[in-house]
Chains A and B, each alone.
Chain A
Amino acid sequence: MNCDLARLILPEYLSQSLGESQELAFAAHLATCDACRAETERLGSLWRGLALLPDTLPEPGANVRDRFYESLAAYRHGLESAPKHGFKEKLAALWPKQAAFQMAISFALLVMGIGVGYEMQREKPVQPVVGSELAQLRGEVSNMRQMVALSLMQQQSAGERLRGVSWAYRVESTDTEVLSALLTTVNNDDSVNVRLSAVGALHAFGASPVTRAAIVQSIRKQTSPLVQIALIELLVDLKVTDAAPELKRLASDNTIDLSVRERANWALGKLLQ
């Protein structure tokens, strides 16, 4: 063995992953070569030190685990339970391929199961779980966040729907399913808190003309001045200048709460300056 080859396999020697014959050859080279022996000692010390470094790193926060299990729980919620006002019908409206969606998730989790099984027993061949009923599934589970957001937004408890809205912040801003679910929440949710946070979540979707038009239309549908003001402020944030005529009508409409009319006036000033 020459020095070049010895250097190439030095890290493997240090991690004790050389085959027996190579290890012997390496040791034989060290016995005759001071340079390689010295290098092996120096790098070996660093190599062992590296193994201790992970203990100096911080641990992931507990929220990582919470978020993960929250998403799993949301899956099971969405799949195993049928909460109030016809969850399945609502879901079907959101996804025309609802059955495929359910199957796709089952399929996804099965595949994960294969991963685990494979890891536990590498020597055993992996059993093919993909049967004919699964093989036809091409409905892509495009985004787990989307599913979690949509699923949670359908839940009975306002707390869970709030969490659903917070998940909506994490989807792509081009996600039309989540956008339509958010708009439905803004217009129809029973809880003012949930509606308010959904208004906040719409901000990320502000580039879409659908969003901009829907925000304008939503103001009159609202019963809570708080939500109306939040929508008006969102129009200003998103610089929706098209909203000016509607804002003018709102500002001069006596049936609207005074604080909302004042905010509409302020928004007009902002948008038209």
Chain B
Amino acid sequence: MAAVGSGEVQKLAVLFERHHRGLFRYFVSMNRNRELSEDLVQDVFFRMLRYRASYDAQQSFTAWMYQIARNASVDQAQKRRGEVIGIDEFTEHKPDLSPGPEESAVRGQDLRLLRLALDRLPADKRELLVLSRFQGMKYDELSTVLGCEVGTVKVRVYRAMRALEQAYLTISGEKTA
């Protein structure tokens, strides 16, 4: 017990390897700033150590981690209140658009519009879709992360999808007009 064995360190590394990309995508979807998001990823792993006592083994680990991620994000926003945060353009990163099994899904230009639509949503709706769609979170996990009832989550996800559709149609209209 006196020293940290390599085993434990490896386990922490496993957590990092498994989750840091997902966390980064969550942050970057919310704040559109690469550097801030990288700092936040780092911060989450610090906080997991710091708040480890709050981890309840009955609870989903992912839900716990994203609770921490949200807090980190809120704290950072407060710290930087008044600062102008740069919005990075991510245009250089093109998705693989070769026809895949999801033939019916929106593609190419449509995907770009969809991302613009998502960016245009209010933060709470965007967050809900990012967590459920990018991170594959279930409703019960979302209810833990967001601190509301599962029933409320269902209503909010549906509303967020409708809002996304509205934003998508609006942007498509702007582009073709």
Residues of A27-83 contacting chain B, CB below 8 A: 42-43, 45-61, 63-65, 67-69, 71-72, 75-76, 79-80
Contact (Cβ within 8 A) A11 B57: no
Q: Is B155 an interface residue (CB 8 A)?
A: yes
The CA of A9 and the CA of B50, in the complex, are separated in Å by: 37
Contact (Cβ within 8 A) B55 A115: yes
Query: On chain B, which size bracket covers the interface?
Result: 35 or more
Interface pick from A104-112, A179-187, A224-232: A104-112
Residues of B109-158 contacting chain A, CB below 8 A: 110-112, 114-115, 118, 129, 132-134, 138-139, 154-155, 157-158
Taking the closest CB of chain B, its distance from the CB of A142, in whole angstroms, is: 7
Q: When the two chains form the complex, which single residue of B8, B95, B104, B115 contacts A109, counting CB atoms closer than 8 Å?
A: B8
Per-position binary interface string of chain B over residues 1-40, scored 1 when its CB falls under 8 Å from any chain A CB and 0 otherwise: 1111001110111111010110011001100001001100
The CA of A64 and the CA of B21, in the complex, are separated in Å by: 10
The CA of A17 and the CA of B134, in the complex, are separated in Å by: 16
Report the interface size for chain A: residues with CB under 8 A from the other chain: 64
Residues of B within 8 A of A49 (CB): 105-107, 110-111, 114
Most chain A beta-carbon contacts within 10 A, residue among B25, B55, B111, B133: B133
Taking the closest CB of chain A, its distance from the CB of B150, in whole angstroms, is: 11
Contact (Cβ within 8 A) B164 A46: yes
Contact (Cβ within 8 A) B20 A56: no
Taking the closest CB of chain B, its distance from the CB of A31, in whole angstroms, is: 20
Majority secondary structure of chain A interface residues (helix, strand, loop or mixed): helix
Q: Is A256 an interface residue (CB 8 A)?
A: no
Residues of A within 8 A of B102 (CB): 48, 51-52
Q: Is A204 an interface residue (CB 8 A)?
A: no
Taking the closest CB of chain B, its distance from the CB of A126, in whole angstroms, is: 4
Contact (Cβ within 8 A) A55 B1: no
The CA of A69 and the CA of B9, in the complex, are separated in Å by: 10
Contact (Cβ within 8 A) A79 B1: no
The CA of A112 and the CA of B8, in the complex, are separated in Å by: 8
Contact (Cβ within 8 A) B21 A59: yes
Contact (Cβ within 8 A) B9 A45: no
The CA of A141 and the CA of B52, in the complex, are separated in Å by: 10
Contact (Cβ within 8 A) B15 A115: yes
Residues of B within 8 A of A72 (CB): 9, 12-13
Contact (Cβ within 8 A) B48 A112: yes
Q: Is B96 an interface residue (CB 8 A)?
A: yes
Residues of B89-103 contacting chain A, CB below 8 A: 90, 93-96, 102
Taking the closest CB of chain B, its distance from the CB of A35, in whole angstroms, is: 13
Contact (Cβ within 8 A) A53 B168: no
Q: When the two chains form the complex, which single residue of B9, B57, B139 contacts A76, counting CB atoms closer than 8 Å?
A: B9
Taking the closest CB of chain A, its distance from the CB of B122, in whole angstroms, is: 16
Q: When the two chains form the complex, which single residue of B24, B28, B158 contacts A10, counting CB atoms closer than 8 Å?
A: B158
Residues of B within 8 A of A253 (CB): none
Q: When the two chains form the complex, which single residue of B3, B62, B115 contacts A106, counting CB atoms closer than 8 Å?
A: B3
The CA of A232 and the CA of B105, in the complex, are separated in Å by: 63
> Sorted from nearest, which 9 A-B pairs have the closest CB atoms?
A48-B105, A49-B106, A109-B8, A60-B24, A50-B133, A144-B46, A126-B57, A55-B95, A111-B52
List 7 interface pairs A-B (beta carbons < 8 Å), by A numbering.
Answer: A11-B132, A11-B157, A53-B114, A61-B38, A68-B16, A102-B2, A113-B12
Beyond the given A72-B13, A115-B48, could you list 18 further A-B residue pairs with CB under 8 A, ordered by the A residue number?
A: A11-B154, A11-B161, A15-B132, A46-B164, A46-B168, A48-B105, A50-B133, A54-B25, A54-B134, A56-B115, A57-B25, A60-B20, A61-B38, A106-B4, A113-B12, A115-B61, A116-B15, A141-B49
Q: Which residues of B contact A (CB under 8 A)?
A: 1-4, 7-9, 11-16, 18, 20-21, 24-25, 28-29, 34, 37-38, 41-42, 45-46, 48-50, 52-53, 55, 57, 61-62, 64, 88, 90, 93-96, 102, 104-107, 110-112, 114-115, 118, 129, 132-134, 138-139, 154-155, 157-158, 161-162, 164-165, 168
